[in-house]
Amino acid sequence: MKILGIDTSSNILSICISEDDNILGENTINNLTNHSPKLVPMIDELLNNLKIDISQIDIFACSIGPGSFTGLRIGLGLAKAMAQANDKPIIGVPTLLSLGKNISNIDGYICPMIDARNENIYTCILDKNYNIVIDYCCLNIYELLEKCKTINSTIYFIGNGASLYKDIIYENLDSTKILDVEFSELSAKNICKIGYEKYIKGQVDNIFALAPTYLRPTSAERLCKKNE
């Protein structure tokens, strides 16, 4: 079961091909402002290097957000086009779950954090088995920390939001509640892994209904509301 995973939710462009839960190859570019010109050539290059034809991909998995509005549309749009053209299933993977999967074998909770600017973060709380304890949301950093105070266990903070607000986290939470604070990048490897897990559970998405998860209004929607 070959899976093509795509993550365009941040300024990191990451693609990966796996077979079941074994990673065959990955390609990543950091600090991109526009994913569109690079995405298709990167996929072609990885397929050629692995001597795999696009028709041999069994599942297309893609990050669905939250994250960069434009990046998410580019990645998901291409994933849906490839899945439809090849008559293959598509699976959307929440970005925060993918980020949280960077951490394993801990005794506590995981708080993936993606910077949403102006002291806001995209976040959630996962238990050690990656079950959702606090649902995906966009919160002010101080609102998140108030929620963390209600959790009676240690918490592992991870992601660029955790790195950005590291000092605030340590200043506002009891040290016994903080398992660690770490910066960790988003990766299509986790998109492939989660995509495979979801597929074997029968959790395949409707290609026409699958859409990005933004968690907050787009800039256009905010402008329209402002002008009402």
Domain shared by 196 and 88, yes or no: yes
Q: For residue 110, what are the domain limits?
A: 103-182
In tens digits, the chain (228 residues) has pLDDT values of: 999 999 999 999 999 999 999 999 999 999 888 999 999 999 999 999 999 999 999 999 999 999 999 999 999 999 999 999 999 999 999 999 999 999 999 999 999 999 999 899 999 999 999 999 999 999 999 999 999 999 999 999 999 999 999 999 999 999 889 989 998 999 999 999 999 999 999 999 999 999 999 998 755 444 444 445
Q: List own/partner pairs for 195-202 with CB under 8 A and 24 or more apart.
A: 195/3, 195/5, 195/59, 195/61, 195/91, 195/93, 196/1, 196/3, 196/18, 196/20, 196/21, 196/59, 196/61, 197/21, 198/61, 198/91, 198/93, 199/1, 199/3, 199/59, 199/89, 199/91
Domain shared by 145 and 173, yes or no: yes
Domain shared by 84 and 190, yes or no: yes
- Of 81, 64, 91, 92, nearest to 212 by C-alpha is 64
Q: What is the pLDDT of residue 217?
A: 72
Q: What is the pLDDT of residue 225?
A: 46
Domain shared by 199 and 89, yes or no: yes
**CB atoms inside a 10 Å sphere around CB 132:** 14
Domain with residue 153: its CATH number is 3.30.420.40
Domain shared by 166 and 194, yes or no: no
Domain shared by 119 and 176, yes or no: yes
Domain shared by 71 and 152, yes or no: no
Q: State the total domains in the chain.
A: 2
Torsion sign (Cα): 38, 98, 90, 76: negative
Domain shared by 81 and 126, yes or no: no
**CB atoms inside a 10 Å sphere around CB 79:** 26
Residue with tokens 């993550």: 7
Domain shared by 205 and 149, yes or no: no
- pLDDT tens digits for range 46-87: 999 999 999 999 999 999 999 999 999 999 999 999 999 999
Q: How far apart are CA 17 and CA 26, in angstroms?
A: 6
Domain shared by 213 and 177, yes or no: no
Domain shared by 14 and 58, yes or no: yes
